[in-house]
Amino acid sequence: MSTQKQKEAGIYDRLSRRRDIYNEEGNFRPREPYFSREDGIREEHWLNRIEERAQEGRVLVVCGNYHKNPFAEKAERHGHTVIRKLSYPENLQEPPIE
């Protein structure tokens, strides 16, 4: 989602202030949580764009750890089958949700 589209959707300011950090073991330590409203708008945008272009077949989605589970849930609600959700490194922790 472009910066302009984020601004038009009213989500840019909040998202632009979030910073992610990882500790030395590679575990995810968010300074701010997953923002259900703002991140959800972005995920719906991504899903709509994928659906516009991929009429059938499989799609590989690569996203940040914030989005792995919520995006998969949205895809399933749209009627898609999620085959696998993976993290690298595998020990990444889930971010808190606000």
Return the pLDDT at 40: 95
Return the pLDDT at 98: 61
Return the pLDDT at 3: 93
Is the Cβ–Cβ distance between 26 and 20 less than 8 Å? no
Is residue 24 pLDDT above 80, yes or no? no
Task: Name the token pair of 23.
Answer: 């500790």
pTM for the whole structure = 0.76
Return the pLDDT at 28: 66
- CA–CA separation, 96 vs 33, rounded Å? 5
* Per-residue pLDDT tens digits for 43-96: 999 999 999 998 888 999 999 888 999 999 999 999 999 999 988 877 776 666
Is the Cβ–Cβ distance between 71 and 47 less than 8 Å? yes
Beta strands in 8-87 (DSSP E): 20-22, 28-30
Task: Pick 49 or 20 by higher pLDDT.
Answer: 49
